[in-house]
Structure 1
Amino acid sequence: MNGDLSTTDPLAPLGDLPGVPDAVAAVRAAVDGVHGHRVMRRRSPEVAAEAALRGARASAALDGADWALEEVRRRSDFGADAEARTVGAALRLSAEAGQLLSVWRASPSRVLARLHLLAAGGVNGGGPDAPAVGRPRLAGEAVDEPALDGLTGRGVALPGADAMAARLDALSALVVAGSRAPALVQAAVVHGELLALRPFTSHNGLVARAAQRIVLVSSGLDPKSVTPAEVGHAEAGRDVYLTALAGYATGTPEGVAAWITHCGRAVELGARESVAVCEALQRGA
């Protein structure tokens, strides 16, 4: 988000932007609807596992690997081609996110580096020693991420390495300091900043969506991680997703509010998906 991020709790006023209180209330009700389902009393780990799988599939779809859920479920080889590697990266992030919750508030930069390492580590045979893996990009390093190319056409210029690093540090400081803002607002800002900044040379979309999930869970909004917002983003489609992000990147109250409410709708759709999973489990499907 543009502007001065050093003001005391600068996220709090975002919760009062037009449309945002209603989005926050709708998200709370949707998440409570999942957590209150009778299936969750005994089978919440199954619902969480299915939500993680569906969220990973949806995140990969936004990055151009739009596989059927059953294809993701049955495959074991995720290194054969570019789409397979994208799906594999999304699955690795989904599996690891829960283990990073305790680190997030103390060291978000460490978590982001870990997420990128997981996402990009298998690309083209690269490993943890690949020069641009697991750290923010440096001056002169390009971003190779076709799924986000549409941001430039929507007026979201790629920040230079110095400007990116400064804003990334500011975002980390916000996370460490904490906020009174609703969890939806915090998650939307983290997600939006990472997409706008594109701090890594690749896989920024996957990392941003994984970070959003970490915020939603660690904030206490969705402690059992059964609301895959990625499903909602994928259902809306990449064009809507990038257009909403472009509004956020303007830094205007209208653009930021529209992005937060867009993220809220995605969480609601993710909750609806998990309610459907609960119903299927209840029927014995």
Structure 2
Amino acid sequence: MLVQLAGIFAIVCYLLACGLLGFALAKKRPPSKIWILSLGSLALPAHGYHVLEQVYSSHGIDLGFFNILSLVGWITACIHIGVNSYRPLIVGVLFAYPTAALGLLSSILFHAPYQALTNLPRGAEGHIILSIFAYSVLFMAGLHALLLVIQNKSLKHRSKSRTILTIMPPLQTMESVLFDFIAVGFGLLSLAIASGFMSLDNMFAQHVVHKTILTLLAWTIFGTLLLGHYVYGWRGQRAIRFTLAGFLVLIFGFYGTKVVLELVLQKV
């Protein structure tokens, strides 16, 4: 009961923060960054407690689809609050808190047929943790790229859409944050892939081969983008296209594989 109450409390905090931002935008007023981030900070420990109790069960580590949604949502909210400590990125609330709230709600309401992991090979748990954090950071990069799309369109049609621009930092800052996300996510993904090949028996086993190939493809896309950015100065629309391409590949590779295996085929 305490676990469920903690989850509900976190959801309420996330939604209240979104409501405050939405109200400020509707009234064309500056949003209260302190209140919005404070509500998020209150939600994080409650959400984290719920994730911990759901994932680390008495039967082993439960990384079923809905638990993963909740965990990634929690990491997304953590990253958002962390970034706001040094960047004016309150606009990230528009996707960070709803992602966290929906992920948490899904784990409260649903449970995927999943066989909890036990007796993991040495290094496998580290591989899993690195993978989840890498996907979460690159997931943030993809959502941030979508914000850049919105910002670019709003700047081109300023008379039609001014509201969103009032809470967005300059375009240069937005692009800088995007490459921060990509660089960190790419580093984590590189470590996750390396640890996977070292700790797991077969990264190309039949039930994970699609996930492995798509992960390597996403790694190649993000690596190419970083190389192009730092060597050739790639930015703007090219950076957005590469980011969204890598983002979609990861979504299909990570979430798509879990949906098919757990919810469609129920091979757990």
Give the structure with higher Rg (CA).
Answer: 2
- How does the TM-score come out when normalised to structure 1? 0.27
Point out the structure with the larger helix share.
2
